[in-house]
Chain A
C-alpha cells in the first residue's frame, strides 16, 4: 500500500521541522553550539528547546483532535474549536491575567484548565442523550458565551497594558515558554492524546451511521465521554500554554486524507504527525519575518488557514469533496 511508505516520510519531515525550529530565529543556532557554554547554548536550552517541544506537542494534539472531531461528527468542516473547549480555556487564561493570578506559579495554566474543565462538564450536561446536532449546538453556545465573556473582561481591563497583555496572549504564540511549561502541559496532552487515539475503531464504525455503529457493538455514549475528555484535556492544556492557535485541526486532517484515504482510524496518527510538522514549520517561519518583534503564531496560522478554508468550501460546494 502507498500509505505505508508515507509514514516514514512524515516522520522524516517531522524531524526536519523539529531541527529547523531548534535552529531558526533572529539568531541562527547551529547544532555545534547547542551544548556550548555561551549565549547561543543558553538560548538553545532555555528558549529554543522548550519552544520546539511545545510546538511539536501542540501541533500533534491539534491535528489529532481535528481528525477525531471530523470523524466523530462525520463532517469534514469540524475542528476542535467546535466544542468550545478552546474558547473556554482562553476565557480561563484571560481571567487569570485580568486578576493577576498569572503571577502565581501555574496560575495561568491552572485557570485555563479550569475553564476547559468547566466546558467539559457543561458539554456533557447540555448534550446528554442527544445526537451530534445537540453536541455541536452545545459547543457553539459555549464558544459564543466564552468569547463574549472574554471580550467583556478585555473591555473592563484596568489599563491599556493589561488589555494589551491579554490580547497578546490570546493571539497564540510559543514565544518565551520555559521547560516548566512543557512539564506542566505534557501529562494532560499525553492523557488526552491517548484517549483520542483509542477512538479509531469506533470512528470507523460511525461511517455506517449511528445505528450501524451501535449494531456493531459500539457504545456511543462512552465514545462521546472519551472524546469530550480527550479534547478537553489535550486542547485545554495546549491553549493554556500557547493561547489559541487555530486552523491546524481543520486543515491537517484534509491534507492527510488526500494522502491516506478517508478511513477515520487511518488518519489519526498521521494527522498528529502532520499537525506537528505544520505548527513547527509555521512557528519557525514567524521568527524569520524581518522587522521588530515577530508575527504571532495564531495570526500566521489564520492567514494561512483562512484561504485554505475558502478553497475547501468552494470545492465542497462544487461537490468534488
Chain B
C-alpha cells in the first residue's frame, strides 16, 4: 500500500509553494518530512491529506487520485493531525476523540463500531483517564495525546501528523513518537513533519528533506542526514557519527557563518 505524489506543484500567495515533488510513502513505515521553515512541509502534508489541491500533478493513495475520491471515502483512509493543536470549544476529551469518527458516521448517534474505535484510540494513547475532562483544561501533553487519539479513532490506513511534537516536553515528545512508531509497526502508513533532527535520525524509516519548495533529498537516514545536506539546507554545522550500537548520532555544533 502506498501514498504518493507525482510531479506535484502548488503555489499560493498565503502558503509556501511546492515545485515538482515526486515521492512515495509506504505502509508499515514511519516517514518523516524535514526542512527549514517555509520549505513547504505542511503544504506537502496538506496535499497528501487532500486538504489542499495541487495545481499541477497528483497525490494518490494506492494509485487512486485523492482529489477524485469522495471526501468521506478519502477521510476514512487518510487521517490528518493538523498543525497548531486547535480546539475551539470546551468539549470533553471523549467528545473530541469522537469527532474522528465523523467520516464513518451515517445515522444520528454513534454505532457500536464507533464506540469501540473511540475507546481503543483512547486506551492506545492512555487518555481514557481524563475522558470526561474538558479539553481546554488539559495540559499541553495531555491535549497532544487526545488530539492524536482523535486521529486514531477514525482508524485510517494513513496517519499524517503535522508537527505533532510542537510545545511538548521531551517526555511527551517521546510518547507521541513511540505511538507513531507503534502504528507503523502495526502496518499503518505514518508520515510526520518534524523539526527536531535528533528525533528524525532516531525514529525515521524514510526521510524527505525539502528545501525552498523542492525535494532536496530522500531515502534512509544515512542518505539524507549528511553534514553536507544540513549545511546547505539549514546553514548549520552538524557532526554525525556511529554510536556503539550502530545507530547514527547527531551533534549540532552551531550556525555556519556566511
A residues within 8 A CB of B100? 216
Bound-complex Cα distance A217 to B92 (A): 22
B residues within 8 A CB of A208? 82, 86-88, 96, 99, 147, 150
- The answer to the question of B164 belonging to the interface, with a C-beta cut-off of 8 Å to chain A, is no
**Chain B, Cβ-Cβ closest to A131:** B14
How near does chain A come to B188, taking the closest CB pair, in angstroms? 16
Bound-complex Cα distance A95 to B72 (A): 46
- The answer to the question of B46 belonging to the interface, with a C-beta cut-off of 8 Å to chain A, is yes
- The answer to the question of A164 belonging to the interface, with a C-beta cut-off of 8 Å to chain B, is no
Do residues A217 and B88 form an inter-chain contact, with CB atoms below 8 A? no
Bound-complex Cα distance A302 to B154 (A): 45
A residues within 8 A CB of B71? 217-219
- The answer to the question of B126 belonging to the interface, with a C-beta cut-off of 8 Å to chain A, is no
Among the stretches A31-39, A173-181, A259-267, A303-311, the one at the interface with B is A259-267
What range describes how many residues of A lie at the interface?
Answer: 20 to 34
Given contacts A207-B91, A211-B51, A263-B91, contact A216 B86 (CB under 8 A): no
Do residues B82 and A211 form an inter-chain contact, with CB atoms below 8 A? yes
Do residues A209 and B99 form an inter-chain contact, with CB atoms below 8 A? no
**Chain A, Cβ-Cβ closest to B51:** A214
- Which of B80, B90, B105 meets A212, CB within 8 Å? B80
A residues within 8 A CB of B73? 217
- Which of B86, B87, B91, B150 meets A261, CB within 8 Å? B91
Given contacts A206-B88, A209-B84, A263-B91, contact A215 B105 (CB under 8 A): no
A residues within 8 A CB of B75? 215-217
Given contacts A207-B99, A263-B95, A264-B89, contact A215 B84 (CB under 8 A): no
- The answer to the question of B50 belonging to the interface, with a C-beta cut-off of 8 Å to chain A, is yes
- Which of A201, A206, A217, A262 meets B74, CB within 8 Å? A217
- The answer to the question of A224 belonging to the interface, with a C-beta cut-off of 8 Å to chain B, is no
**Chain A, Cβ-Cβ closest to B105:** A201
A residues within 8 A CB of B90? 261-262
Given contacts A207-B96, A217-B74, contact A262 B86 (CB under 8 A): no
List A residues at the B interface (Cβ < 8 Å). 74, 201, 204-209, 211-212, 214-219, 261-264
How near does chain A come to B136, taking the closest CB pair, in angstroms? 9
Bound-complex Cα distance A215 to B49 (A): 6
**Chain B, Cβ-Cβ closest to A205:** B102
Do residues B89 and A263 form an inter-chain contact, with CB atoms below 8 A? yes
**Chain B, Cβ-Cβ closest to A76:** B89
What range describes how many residues of B lie at the interface?
Answer: 20 to 34
A74, A205, A208: most-surrounded residue (chain B CB, <10 A): A208
How near does chain B come to A259, taking the closest CB pair, in angstroms? 14
Could you list 7 further interchain pairs (A-B, Cβ under 8 angstroms) beyond the known A211-B83, A217-B102? A204-B99, A204-B102, A208-B82, A209-B84, A212-B86, A215-B79, A216-B154
How near does chain A come to B156, taking the closest CB pair, in angstroms? 9
Bound-complex Cα distance A21 to B40 (A): 61
Given contacts A205-B102, A215-B50, A217-B74, contact A262 B91 (CB under 8 A): yes
Given contacts A215-B51, A216-B103, A217-B74, contact A209 B91 (CB under 8 A): no
B residues within 8 A CB of A209? 82, 84, 86, 88
B residues within 8 A CB of A212? 80, 82, 86
B79-130 with Cβ < 8 A to chain A = 79-80, 82-84, 86-92, 95-96, 99-100, 102-103, 105
How near does chain A come to B138, taking the closest CB pair, in angstroms? 14
Given contacts A208-B87, A262-B91, contact A216 B102 (CB under 8 A): yes
Q: List 24 A-B contacts (CB under 8 A).
A: A201-B102, A205-B99, A206-B88, A207-B87, A207-B99, A208-B82, A208-B86, A208-B87, A208-B147, A209-B84, A211-B51, A211-B80, A211-B82, A215-B50, A215-B75, A216-B75, A217-B71, A217-B72, A217-B76, A218-B102, A261-B92, A263-B89, A263-B91, A264-B89
B71, B74, B89, B154: most-surrounded residue (chain A CB, <10 A): B89
A residues within 8 A CB of B147? 208
- The answer to the question of B193 belonging to the interface, with a C-beta cut-off of 8 Å to chain A, is no
B141-198 with Cβ < 8 A to chain A = 147, 150, 154
